[in-house]
Amino acid sequence: MSLALTRLLQLASPALPVGAYTYSQGLEWAVEAGTVKDEATALVWIGDQLEWNLGRFEAPLLARMMTAWRATDEVGLAELDAQYLASRESAELRAESLQMGHSLRRLIDDLKEILGVSPGRTFAAVWSGLAAAWQIAPADALAAWLWSWAENQTMAALKTVPLGQAAGQRILLDIGGRIPAVVERALQLDEEQFSNFAPGFAIACARHETQYSRLFRS
């Protein structure tokens, strides 16, 4: 077994203490609005985000960040970090990315020495830096990033819809089967093809900020 694999499992683990479990990324409002109301609609919501948002923007951007880390391209990384942060459509999403990035930075001693350049502000930038430093293959890193996100979204659905554990495993089985193709496409996308155009997602995130009763921070 390679050390890179065990490091990757650590990065993707829900035990990573960055507070991911406290965010639903608009899913809680989608449940409140009745858009997500059962296993089938939860699968559609999560699957659409994987396809149209993460797969076409976050994943290819993460791959570019890893390239910048490996080239010790501090200027390029800063630009990618700023681009990612600018893509967060709501105040809660922006706060989520910055808070999780801050939490991950605090976990690591002498971060600059480990990564070679100053870390970025967002969770994606710091996470990709660790993946690059631990010599994880980009395709594997992207798959783990997407899986970790899907697992967190599924857990949010289990709590808010609510759904049973078996339903959650069926959702993850379906989403997990889509991830390899999403990763392959993300690695081939040119920068002008990057897109996170998902207005329903952006609206849900914004509406969550004024939702009266909620469990999650986004």
How much is the average pLDDT of 121-130? 93
Six-digit token pair at 23? Answer: 């965010």
**Does residue 201 form part of some domain?**
yes
State the total domains in the chain.
1
Reduce the secondary structure of 9-51 to three states and give it as a string: HHHHCCCCCCCHHHCCCCHHHHHHHCCCCCHHHHHHHHHHHHH
**Does residue 38 form part of some domain?**
yes
Specify the 3-state DSSP secondary structure of 65: helix
Scanning the structure block, which residue is given the tokens 């990763």? 183
**Does residue 11 form part of some domain?**
no
Q: Are 157 and 36 in contact (CB under 8 A)?
A: yes
**Does residue 198 form part of some domain?**
yes
**Does residue 15 form part of some domain?**
no
Which alpha helices (DSSP H) does 36-164 contain, by range?
39-49, 59-70, 74-86, 91-107, 111-115, 123-133, 138-160
CB neighbour list of residue 162: distance below 8 Å, 6 or more residues apart:
none
Q: What is the pLDDT of residue 113?
A: 58
Q: Give CA–CA dist 86/118, Å, rounded.
A: 20
**Does residue 110 form part of some domain?**
yes
How much is the average pLDDT of 25-32? 96
Q: Residue 112: which CATH number?
A: 1.10.4190.10
In Å, what is the CA distance from 25 to each residue of 22, 88, 203, 218? 10, 10, 11, 5
Q: What is the mean pLDDT of the chain?
A: 92
DSSP string, 126-140: HHHHHHHHTT--HHH
Of 38-47, 68-77, 110-119, the range with the lowest mean pLDDT is: 110-119
pLDDT in tens, 171-194: 999 999 999 999 999 999 999 999
Q: How many CA atoms lie within 13 A of 1 on its CB side?
A: 6
Q: Give CA–CA dist 135/216, Å, rounded.
A: 34
Q: Is the peptide bond between 162 and the residue preceding it cis, with omega within 30 degrees of 0?
A: yes
List the end-to-end C-alpha distance of the chain, in Å, as a whole number: 37
Scanning the structure block, which residue is given the tokens 């203490």? 17
**Does residue 14 form part of some domain?**
no
Scanning the structure block, which residue is given the tokens 């609510």? 162
pLDDT in tens, 80-123: 999 999 999 899 999 999 999 988 888 876 556 577 666 778 99
**Does residue 181 form part of some domain?**
yes
Domain extent, residue 40, equals 23-208
